[in-house]
Amino acid sequence: MKKTLKDWIIATRPWSFPASTMPSLVAVSYVFYVNKIAPMDVNWWFGVLAFFGAAMFQAAGNLISDFYDFKFGVDRKESYGSSRMLVDDVFKPKTILYFGWILLATGTVLGLILAFNSSYNLFWIGGVGVLCTIFYYKLKYVALGDLTIMVVYGFLIALGTYLVMTNTLEWRILLVASSLGFLIVNILHANNLRDIRDDGKANVKTQAMILGVKNSILQYILLGVGAYLVIILAVVLKILNPVSLIVLLSFPILMKNIKEIRTSEIDKPEKIKDMDGKSAQLVMIFSLLLTISNFIAGFIV
């Protein structure tokens, strides 16, 4: 069966890319905002490369994870999630794995180029990213997936993007990025909540399985609301400009998602089958609003 370009793209699960690209984009916008307050040398092209590099690493992680999820029976015909390229026999498992390794190798080379031309600190940031990409499936199977996503997508991508652009480890970006991290964790958490029944059949353990439906819904709510509280805190601490409060325009989307996820039942995963996608959409809208606010704030400072 001949594969189309569309098949190769779908295999990477591009709809999930807001999880990796949005933290990088927000970091770029934050550099712009901070640079107006305290002018510094900025390499904007490195920010662009970091943006695409983050997407490349996520695509690699998605492919490698899909291979092992299929291999260990986590992804099956009747289950939700994944690109379905393996369960629907579009690609051979090894093809997906090799595709993932090629993207990971390409992203690693890009990261090395950035590290040699910016800061040695990128070696440990990128090293953690590489390890988490390779072993994410193992971490996910022992209920460490949420924590891994928070560390990599909630902290390291933004920290690394800011670093390659400015040669500076700016710890304030961690607070800003943590707001996105909470919402990004909710993408995975919604996926795992939906898949409690099927993951149990595959003998894997996720945080949603440990918490149960009721507490998993509570975690989704706390992380979602927490993202907005972090932005408010950052404004109070003068880490962000008050114009950043425009992210509150996306709050009704969170409330709509919460209303839907509260209908979750273990034996009826179809009730929230699209909640991971809807959570990803919230990440994109929230992040774009925050990015716009940083650029606006940069001009008015």
- Which tens digits make up the pLDDT trace of 179-201? 999 999 999 999 889 888 888 88
For residue 50, what are the domain limits?
A: 13-31+39-293
Q: Which of 159, 166, 158, 172 is nearest to 117 (CA)?
A: 166
pTM of the model: 0.93
- For residue 300, is it within any domain? no
- For residue 158, is it within any domain? yes
- For residue 260, is it within any domain? yes
The structural domain count of the chain equals: 1
| pLDDT at residue 72 in the model | 84
pLDDT tens digits for range 130-168: 999 999 988 988 999 999 999 999 999 999 999 999 999
Evaluate whether 213 touches 200 at the Cβ level (below 8 Å).
no
- For residue 5, is it within any domain? no
Q: What are phi and psi of 205, to 5 degrees?
A: -125, 125
- For residue 2, is it within any domain? no
Task: Give percent above pLDDT 70 in the chain.
Answer: 97
- For residue 227, is it within any domain? yes
Q: How far is CA 95 from CA 6, 66, 92, 131, in A?
A: 15, 11, 5, 21
Residue type for position 124:
W
Residue 37 clears pLDDT 90, i.e. is over it: no
3 state SS for the chain: CCCCHHHHHHHCCHHHCHHHHHHHHHHHHHHHHHHHHCCCCCCHHHHHHHHHHHHHHHHHHHHHHHHHHHHCCCCCCCCCCCCCCCCCCCCCHHHHHHHHHHHHHHHHHHHHHHHHCCCCHHHHHHHHHHHHHHHHHHHHHECCHHHHHHHHHHHHHHHHHHHHHHCCCCCHHHHHHHHHHHHHHHHHHHHHHHCHHHHHHCCCECHHHHHHHHHHHHHHHHHHHHHHHHHHHHHHCCCCCHHHHHHHHHHHHHHHHHHHHCCCCCCCHHHHCCHHHHHHHHHHHHHHHHHHHHHHHHHHC
| pLDDT at residue 211 in the model | 93
pLDDT band at 215 (very low <50, low <70, confident <90, very high): very high
| pLDDT at residue 87 in the model | 84
- Give me the CATH number covering residue 121: 1.10.600
Residue 41 clears pLDDT 70, i.e. is over it: yes
- For residue 167, is it within any domain? yes
- For residue 251, is it within any domain? yes
pLDDT tens digits for range 77-100: 766 666 688 888 888 999 999 999
